Amino acid sequence: MQSRAIFIDRLGPPERLEERAFELPDPGPGEVHLKVLAAGVNFADLMMRIGLYGTVPPRPFSPGFEVAGQVERCGEGVTGFAVGDRVVAMKRFGGYARDVIVPVKQIFPWPGSLSPAEAAAIPVVFLTAWVCLFRSGACRARERLLVLGAGGGVGTAAVQLGVSAGLTVFGTAGNEAKRDFVRDKLGATACFNSRGDWETPLRRELSGNTIDIALDPVGGEATAACRRLLGPLGRLVVYGLSEAAPGKRKNWLRAAWAWLRTPRFHPIDLIQPNIGISGVHLLHLGANEGVLRDGYQEMLPGFCNGDLFPVLDRTFSLSAAGAAAAHHYLHDRKNLGKVVLIRDEE
- What pLDDT does 243 receive? 78
Average pLDDT in the 92-114 region? 96
What whole-number distance in Å separates Cα of residue 117 and Cα of residue 281? 23
Decide: residue 201, CB within 10 A, 0-12 exposed, 13-18 middle, 19+ buried. Answer: middle
The CATH architecture assigned to 2-122+310-342 reads: Alpha-Beta Complex (3.90)
| Residue 155 near residue 188 (C-beta atoms within 8 A) | no
Enumerate residues 6+ apart whose C-beta is below 8 A from 176: none
pLDDT in tens, 85-98: 999 999 999 999 99
Residue 110 has pLDDT above 80, yes or no: yes
**Interhelix angle for 221-229 vs 199-206, to 10°?**
10
Which residue ranges does the chain devote to CATH 3.40.50.720? 124-284
What whole-number distance in Å separates Cα of residue 48 and Cα of residue 44? 6
pLDDT in tens, 28-58: 999 999 999 999 999 999 999 999 888 899 9
- What pLDDT does 111 receive? 95
SS3 168: strand
How does residue 346 score in pLDDT terms, banded at 50, 70 and 90? very low
Decide: residue 1, CB within 10 A, 0-12 exposed, 13-18 middle, 19+ buried. Answer: exposed
Cβ atoms within 10 Å of 157's Cβ, excluding its own:
31
pLDDT in tens, 232-268: 999 999 998 887 766 676 676 666 767 777 888 899 9
The CATH architecture assigned to 124-284 reads: 3-Layer(aba) Sandwich (3.40)
- What pLDDT does 250 receive? 66
Which residue ranges does the chain devote to CATH 3.90.180.10? 2-122+310-342
User: How many angstroms separate the most distant Cα atoms in the chain?
Assistant: 63
